[in-house]
Structure 1
Amino acid sequence: MSHHKVISLAEAVRRHTWDGMQYASGAALPVGSDAIVFGRELLRQGRRDLHAIFHCNTQQLNLLAAAGAVSRAECGFSGLEGFGFAKGLGRAVQSGAVALEDYSNLAMPLRLLGGALNWPFVPATVNVGTDLEFRSAFDPEHSPNRDKIRTVTDPFSGRTIGAFSTLQPDLAAIHVTLADPEGNAIMLGTEWSRFELSRAAKRVILIADAIVETDCMRQFPNLVRIPGLLVEAVVYWPFAAWPQASPGMYDGDEAHMKAMNDALGSEAGTAAYLADYVDGIDGVDDYLDRIGRERIAALSRGPTSFLLDPYRRWILPHADALALSREGAAA
């Protein structure tokens, strides 16, 4: 495993992120798998002025916006489903700190697909004729706006249709259930646009709940939706999507989802949350201790835990996965 791609979370952010970059994540459901811990580390390292691209808002974008790290955002859904409005993101948008460009849940993966295929634009038949077409947060002075979704002529029918700009973000931090040291990955549960995002982004970092032997990927090659050749680095971090869910691994932490969202609704609450769950965290084990070992055990015994059964034999022990992280960070 001398040529593996596993590095520490801190090293991944240090090497592959910068202020003002286009940063993509949140490619699963707003309450599902997302590399939330990557956003925590972006804040720890003081990244600012990010242009965030999220298929759907998650607690990561909610946190980044509340903490002042994002100046622009594009997403297809801005709520937190059953947990209500995203209070940190909402506060940032209402204050003018974040310009939020709104598209639909179909438009975002289409734009990522266009980026993955290196198309100049994506033909659009959705969002056309609505405020999504004619209102732009990036150019609010012009309404109706004719540049956000432009028009093209279908060369076959002569019909006028819309055209989306494509997305090719500088970096995508993608949460996966299982990754091997070479960067091959399996995602359990809803995939949403993580497949398209992994092909559209200029660089991809995987944030994995577990590291498995490569024999696992050889046993289930049809499930390897993100191959290692697309991946810059792999970060091992259990409960990386917490307080959201990772099917097969852990359920969503409903109590913390509510408490986190409430905290992000104010500057004082955000500062307290950052002190406890961002700046105050010293490594993986401290992070897990902060969640609480009893809570971790309870969340890990959920109704989806059986989904992990076919893969358990290949999962590396915690100490071995951490050793890979240290080795990769030192290389």
Structure 2
Amino acid sequence: MPAHRLISLAEAVRRYTRDGMQYASGAALPIGSDAIVFGRELLRQRRSKLHAIFHCNSQQLNLLAAAGAVDKAECGFSGLEVFGFANGLRRAVESGQTALEDYSNLAMALRLLGGALNWPFVPATVNIGSDIQHRSAFAPEDYPSTTKIPTVTDPFSGREIGAFSPLRPELAAIHVSLADPQGNAIMLGSEWSRFELSRAAGKVILIADAIVDGACMLQFPNLVRIPDILVEAVVYHPFAAWPQSSPGWYDADEAHMLHMNQALATAEGTAQYLNEFVYGVNSLDDYLARIGDDVRARLSATATGFLLDPFRQWIKTPEQVAALLAHTPETHA
């Protein structure tokens, strides 16, 4: 077992991603925990032709689609809740750049469960008899579709039901509240299938708001929803879900949520946003500076901060994390 699995964000994207891959993230509410910073780095490294899988659309998929990096997408909800429809995703779909395959939220959860359990298919009693079943963005000429949710016979009742294809993405970048250097993780707040996604994906990268000592996981083993055996690498990145929220750590940045979605509504706005918040960001310190000290302080004064109280004694300082990163197994291999 390696001394630890900590690597930088840039190295994680360089090592574990490629053009055309099936990439999953966003197994969270559209304004909740998501590894949005991983999507920013995908764009910094010019990844393209992605097949994106998101339980719910988030600002990450919105940004990736607006930038033209997503050819195919599957998700169960395409809005941004109170912040309106996802303008970048809308542009990409309406222009024909992105084929968006639509399912219900329950269907996405079941498909991730099917992938986690290695099922050949997932019996479906939802989405049946509607255009969710009958129309496929991946085969638009086939109507009613016979391949998106085909029918099967229940061997016990003889009833005709649907069959979902399980989700088994090549890579999942999963945002977590706390991770230890080995890759054990605790998620605060709603999980939205991140548990199942971690078991369904071929490889898992954790994007953690904080790194804790391994003793924390030994103290709370029942809270370790993603164990290290599933994890390829751990990335330390405070405010990784910004401008969305991370329970215990920070609230959603409502002003930036609106600004970002408005910018992604046009090609010109998207280019400006990318230059300022993606291509123009060269380090973690630079990223945090772009958010702003005052904004980070305000967002961190969250009413959910008490959720971190049981874990605070084990949280490593940025300097301690940097010391670990300076002595990675890969550095001395």
Q: Partner residue of 2:65?
A: 65
Structure-2 separation of matches of 1:22 and 1:273: 25
Structure-2 separation of matches of 1:67 and 1:264: 8
Secondary structure of 1:6 counterpart: coil
TM-score (norm 2): 0.98
Structure-2 separation of matches of 1:53 and 1:323: 34
Could you list the runs of 5+ residues in structure 2 that have no partner in the other structure?
none
Structure-2 separation of matches of 1:181 and 1:322: 12
Identity %: 72
- In structure 1, give the amino acid aligned to 2:331: A
Q: Does 1:252 align with 2:248?
A: no
Q: Partner residue of 2:76?
A: 76
Secondary structure of 2:225 counterpart: strand
- In structure 2, give the amino acid aligned to 1:241: A
Q: Partner residue of 1:330?
A: 331
Q: Partner residue of 1:10?
A: 10
1:300-311 mapped onto 2 (5 Å cutoff): 300-311=300-311
Q: Does 1:267 align with 2:286?
A: no
Could you list the runs of 5+ residues in structure 1 that have no partner in the other structure?
none
Structure-1 separation of matches of 2:316 and 2:55: 31
Displacement after TM superposition at 1:131 (Å): 0.6
Structure-2 separation of matches of 1:150 and 1:124: 10
- In structure 2, give the amino acid aligned to 1:109: A
Closer, same or farther in 2 for the Cα pair 1:163/1:31, shift >3 Å? same
1:212-223 mapped onto 2 (5 Å cutoff): 212-223=212-223
Displacement after TM superposition at 1:321 (Å): 1.3
Q: Partner residue of 1:224?
A: 224
Displacement after TM superposition at 1:250 (Å): 0.3
Q: Deviations over 1:181-212 (max 9, x none)?
A: 00000000010100000000000000000000
Structure-2 separation of matches of 1:2 and 1:131: 49
Q: Partner residue of 2:40?
A: 40
- In structure 1, give the amino acid aligned to 2:32: G
- In structure 1, give the amino acid aligned to 2:176: V
- In structure 2, give the amino acid aligned to 1:254: E
Structure-2 separation of matches of 1:277 and 1:327: 29
Closer, same or farther in 2 for the Cα pair 1:315/1:154, shift >3 Å? same
Q: Deviations over 1:81-110 (max 9, x none)?
A: 010000000000000000000000000010
Displacement after TM superposition at 1:330 (Å): 2.9
1:1-331 mapped onto 2 (5 Å cutoff): 3-328=3-328, 330-331=331-332
Structure-1 separation of matches of 2:201 and 2:122: 16
Displacement after TM superposition at 1:2 (Å): 6.2
Q: Deviations over 1:106-134 (max 9, x none)?
A: 00010011111111000000000111000
- In structure 2, give the amino acid aligned to 1:192: W
Displacement after TM superposition at 1:231 (Å): 0.2
Structure-2 separation of matches of 1:24 and 1:163: 21
Displacement after TM superposition at 1:327 (Å): 3.2
Displacement after TM superposition at 1:48 (Å): 0.3
Structure-2 separation of matches of 1:2 and 1:185: 17
Secondary structure of 2:218 counterpart: helix
Structure-2 separation of matches of 1:301 and 1:100: 37
Structure-1 separation of matches of 2:323 and 2:292: 23
Structure-1 separation of matches of 2:80 and 2:144: 29
* Mapped contact 1:24–1:171 kept (Cα < 8 A): yes
- In structure 1, give the amino acid aligned to 2:121: F
Structure-1 separation of matches of 2:325 and 2:207: 12
- In structure 2, give the amino acid aligned to 1:276: E
Displacement after TM superposition at 1:323 (Å): 2.8
- In structure 1, give the amino acid aligned to 2:226: I
Q: How many residues align?
A: 331
Displacement after TM superposition at 1:303 (Å): 0.8
Structure-1 separation of matches of 2:144 and 2:53: 23
Secondary structure of 2:174 counterpart: strand
Moved over 4 A (4+): none
Structure-2 separation of matches of 1:327 and 1:12: 16
Closer, same or farther in 2 for the Cα pair 1:157/1:2, shift >3 Å? closer
- In structure 2, give the amino acid aligned to 1:147: T
Displacement after TM superposition at 1:319 (Å): 1.4
Secondary structure of 2:176 counterpart: strand
Q: Deviations over 1:127-172 (max 9, x none)?
A: 0011100000000011111110011111111111100001100000
Structure-1 separation of matches of 2:75 and 2:204: 19
* Mapped contact 1:7–1:324 kept (Cα < 8 A): no
Displacement after TM superposition at 1:173 (Å): 0.1
Displacement after TM superposition at 1:249 (Å): 0.3
Structure-2 separation of matches of 1:190 and 1:285: 28
Structure-2 separation of matches of 1:7 and 1:326: 9
* Mapped contact 1:76–1:104 kept (Cα < 8 A): yes
Structure-1 separation of matches of 2:25 and 2:131: 25
